[in-house]
Structure 1
Amino acid sequence: MLKSLFSGVSGLQSHQVAMDVESNNIANVNTVGFKYSRANFSDLLAQTKAIATAPQGQLGGKNPVQVGLGSTVNSMTRIFAQGSVQNSDKNTDVAIQGDGFFIISPDGGNTYKYTRAGDFKFDAGGNFVDNNGFIAQGWLRDPVTGTVDSTAPIENINIPPGLTTPANATQEVVLKANLNSGPLVESFSPAYEVPSGAPVAPFTTALPAVDDNGFPIESGDVGVMFNEVGEAFSLQNGQGVWASFRESTVTSGAVTGGLAADSAESITFDLDDGSTKTVNFTFLAGNTAAQNAAIEASAINSISTVTGITASVNALDQVVLVNDNASGSASHNISVNAVSSGNTGLAAGDADQSAWRYTYNAAGPTTAAGADKEFNTIASLREALENQANAEPGAAGIEVSVNDQGKLELTNTNAASYNVNLKMTGVSGGGVTENVRFTRNMEAMNTVLQAGTAGKSFSQAFNAATHSSSIDVFDSLGSKHTLRMEFRKISLDAATGSEWAVTITVPEPATIDTVAPTFEKKGSIRFNNDGSLATYSPPNISFTANNGSAPDQQINLSFGTGNMFDGMTSFDSVSSTSGISQDGYTGGDLVGIRIDQSGTLIGSFSNGRSFGLAQIAMAKFTNNEGLSTEGGNVFIQTANSGDPIIGTAATAGRGFIQSAALEASNVDLSRALTQLIIVQRGFQANGKTITTSDQLLQTLIGLKN
Structure 2
Amino acid sequence: MLKSIFSGVSGIRNLQTKIDVISNNIANVNTTGFKAARVNFQTQFSETLRGASAPGVSKGGTNPSQIGLGTTVGGVDTLMTQGTIQPTGKNTDMALSGEGFFVLSDGTERYYSRDGNFDFDRNGTLGNPSTGYNVLGWMAKPNGDGTTSISTMDQCDKIKIPAGQIMPPRKSSTITADGNFDALTPRMKVSLSGMVLESADSAAAVPTPAYMTFKDLYGNDRTIKVSFARDTATDLAAIPPHVYDKTILTYKAEAVVSATDDTPDPQVDVVNPSIATNPPRSNKIQFNSSGNVIAPGPDDFKITVRRAAIAGEAIAPFYDMDVPVDSWALNMSTIGTNSVQAAIKEGENGKPNYIIFGTKVVDGLGNSHMINLKATHATADTWRIGLSYTDNTIAGVDFKIGDEFFSDISSTTAGKENYTAEVRFDSATGKIMAGGSPTYKINFGNAGTSEISIDLQNLQAIAGENTATAGQNGYGSGILQGFNIDGNGIISGSFSNGQNQQLAQIAVASFNNPAGLTRKTDNVFASTNNTGEAMIGSAGAGGRGTIQAGALEMSNVDLASSFSEMIIAQRAFQSNSRIVTVSDEILQEMMNLKR
CA deviation digits over 1:385-411, x for unaligned, max 9? 3xx33x33334364645478736xxxx
Residues 159, 358 of structure 1: alpha-carbon distance in 2 compared, 3 angstrom cutoff: same
Identity %: 31
CA deviation digits over 1:322-341, x for unaligned, max 9? xxxxxxxxxxx998xxxxxx
Q: Output the CA distance in 1 between the equivalents of 2:132 and 2:41.
A: 37
CA deviation digits over 1:182-210, x for unaligned, max 9? xxx5xx57858989899xxxxx9984535
Q: Output the CA distance in 2 between the equivalents of 1:74 and 1:609.
A: 58
- 1:153 Cα offset (Å): 1.4
Please identify which structure carries the higher strand content.
Answer: 2
* Mapping 1:187-202, distance limit 5 Å: 188=185, 191=188
Q: Output the CA distance in 1 between the equivalents of 2:540 and 2:499.
A: 26
1:683 corresponds to 2:570:
no
Partner of 1:673: 563
TM-score (norm 1): 0.63
Q: Output the CA distance in 2 between the equivalents of 1:68 and 1:363.
A: 117
Match of 2:389 among 484, 500, 506: 506
Local SS of the residue matching 2:58: coil
Residues 208, 689 of structure 1: alpha-carbon distance in 2 compared, 3 angstrom cutoff: same
CA deviation digits over 1:308-352, x for unaligned, max 9? xxxxxxxxxxxxxxxxxxxxxxxxx998xxxxxxxxxxxxxxx54
- 1:484 Cα offset (Å): 1.5
TM-score (norm 2): 0.74
Partner of 1:313: none
Local SS of the residue matching 1:152: coil
Local SS of the residue matching 1:92: coil
* Mapping 1:435-454, distance limit 5 Å: none
Q: Output the CA distance in 2 between the equivalents of 1:533 and 1:120.
A: 53
Partner of 2:161: 159
- 1:571 Cα offset (Å): 4.3
Local SS of the residue matching 2:578: helix
Contact in 2 for aligned 1:180/1:570 (Cα 8 Å)? yes
Counterpart amino acid of 1:697?
Answer: L
Counterpart amino acid of 1:122?
Answer: F
Q: Output the CA distance in 1 between the equivalents of 2:571 and 2:132.
A: 43
Larger Rg: 1
1:10 corresponds to 2:10:
yes
1:474 corresponds to 2:362:
yes
Partner of 2:438: 539
Q: Output the CA distance in 2 between the equivalents of 1:214 and 1:61.
A: 111
Contact in 2 for aligned 1:47/1:67 (Cα 8 Å)? yes
Partner of 1:406: 347
Contact in 2 for aligned 1:523/1:537 (Cα 8 Å)? no
* Mapping 1:123-522, distance limit 5 Å: 123-130=121-128, 131-143=130-142, 145=144, 146-181=148-183, 185=184, 188=185, 191=188, 207-210=212-215, 216=221, 351-354=289-292, 356-357=294-295, 359-361=297-299, 364=302, 380-382=325-327, 384-385=328-329, 388-389=330-331, 391-396=332-337, 398=339, 400-402=341-343, 406=347, 460=349, 463-464=352-353, 466-492=354-380, 498-509=381-392, 510=394, 511-513=396-398, 514=407, 515=409, 517=411, 519-522=416-419
Counterpart amino acid of 2:326?
Answer: L
Local SS of the residue matching 2:104: strand
Match of 1:631 among 509, 521, 532: 521
Local SS of the residue matching 1:137: strand
Local SS of the residue matching 1:667: coil
Match of 1:613 among 474, 497, 503: 503
* Aligned alpha-carbon RMSD (Å): 3.4
Partner of 1:657: 547
Counterpart amino acid of 1:392?
Answer: S
CA deviation digits over 1:470-507, x for unaligned, max 9? 22111111111112222222113xxxxx2211021223
Q: Output the CA distance in 2 between the equivalents of 1:2 and 1:689.
A: 11
- 1:353 Cα offset (Å): 4.3
Contact in 1 for aligned 2:189/2:324 (Cα 8 Å)? no
Partner of 1:111: 109
Residues 47, 362 of structure 1: alpha-carbon distance in 2 compared, 3 angstrom cutoff: farther
Local SS of the residue matching 2:586: helix
Contact in 1 for aligned 2:159/2:504 (Cα 8 Å)? yes
Match of 2:536 among 646, 662, 684: 646
CA deviation digits over 1:248-278, x for unaligned, max 9? xxxxxxxxxxxxxxxxxxxxxx99xxxxxxx
Partner of 1:70: 70
Q: Output the CA distance in 2 between the equivalents of 1:73 and 1:505.
A: 85
Unpaired segments of 5 or more residues in structure 1? 199-203, 220-269, 272-332, 336-350, 367-375, 408-459, 493-497, 561-566
Counterpart amino acid of 2:450?
Answer: Q
Q: Output the CA distance in 2 between the equivalents of 1:538 and 1:361.
A: 30
Unpaired segments of 5 or more residues in structure 2? 196-208, 225-239, 242-285, 305-320, 399-406
Contact in 2 for aligned 1:191/1:405 (Cα 8 Å)? yes
- 1:469 Cα offset (Å): 3.0
* Mapping 1:571-610, distance limit 5 Å: 571-572=462-463, 574-577=465-468, 580-610=470-500
Q: Output the CA distance in 2 between the equivalents of 1:478 and 1:9.
A: 80
